Amino acid sequence: MKLEGWIDSYLDHLRVERALAANTLDAYARDLSALAQHMGQASGEATLPSEIAPHHIEAFLAASMERGYGARSSGRRLSAFRGFFRFLVRERVLLDDPTALVVRARLARKLPRVMSFEQIERLLAAPGDSTERGILHGAMLHLMYASGLRVSELCKLRVGDIDLQRGLVAVHGKGGKCRLVPVGEVALDLVGRYLRDVRPRVARPGSAILFASRRSGRFTRAAFWKMVRRYAVSAGIVPLPSPHKLRHSFATHLLRGGADLRAVQSMLGHADLGTTEIYTHVAQDHVRAAHAKSHPRA
């Protein structure tokens, strides 16, 4: 079977057996299709997996970086290729993994940008609560910041995922994993008001989606992005934040307040503690700044 056929088999494996998210599958499909196209252009015909050598992978990644791909995007592509070729080794299509000796491009440690608490307060207050749309948008913004949700997780929430009595939200994250995250009282009150006063008038009959939209039935990531930017402009927040900054700010503000790193890892849904540890550097910057400002011999 040619390379394209094995790529389809691998994507089916990821979809059925590993239950990866649709966005992750799309990214893998793009990266592997780009590799197949590169190999086809080099040889002039469809390629067999056994014809791919390490220098082909290295040449493809180098060409990608020349076209503007950064080290992070290049590393993501290499990860996609490694998973694919390890799959072929397990299926006994290949004896060796051609990516085994390919070196990942070195990544500079990039600290997440976060909003100050004062900026968060202004953003959360921007929708107001005098209109149905304001109540809906306010509930979404408060819940995202209160629980550190990803945008995709927020948009996929169902009515049954929020427990107003216990103050918990069941979040369905990457890879189909579910985690329970506590929700603060202010966010709970706003979500409860939205469920009582707004959702019955905007949700489609039979819909279980928590945050409903009259136009499309459910909020999309793009619609939420535009909404955050619009309220950031009205609140005078510069530079304009991305929705993911709410998640970064949630984690950083918790750690600055003395939260346990493992607890923050659990709330964020990180599989690796090292992913969460990056927020400690942001929190330590805050501590250093306070020390420099306040200590008589700083």
Catalytic option among 86, 113, 122, 174? 174
Phi, psi (rounded to 5 degrees) for 181: -125, 135
Catalytic option among 142, 150, 245, 253? 150
* Neighbouring-strand partners of residue 169: 162, 181
H/E/C letters for each residue in 272-298? CHHHHHHHHHHHHHHHHHHHHHHCCCC
Are 127 and 138 spatial neighbours (Cβ–Cβ below 8 Å)?
A: yes
SS3 content of the chain, % helix, strand, coil (to 5): 60, 5, 35
Active site residue 142: no
Active site residue 174: yes
Active site residue 247: yes
Query: What letter represents residue 103's amino acid?
Result: V
Active site residue 279: yes
What would the two tokens of residue 288 be? Answer: 């250093």
Give the CA-trace dihedral at 78, 82, 88, 89, to 10 degrees: 140
Catalytic option among 247, 248, 253, 256? 247
CA triple 71-73-74, angle to 5 deg:
60
Strand 168-172 vs strand 162-163: parallel, antiparallel, or unpaired? Answer: antiparallel
Catalytic option among 122, 229, 244, 286? 244
Active site residue 293: no
Active site residue 30: no
Query: Distance between the two ends of the chain, CA-based, in angstroms?
Result: 67
Does 49 sit behind a cis peptide bond, omega within 30 degrees of 0 on the bond before it? no
Phi, psi (rounded to 5 degrees) for 7: -65, -45
Active site residues per annotation = 150, 174, 244, 247, 270, 279
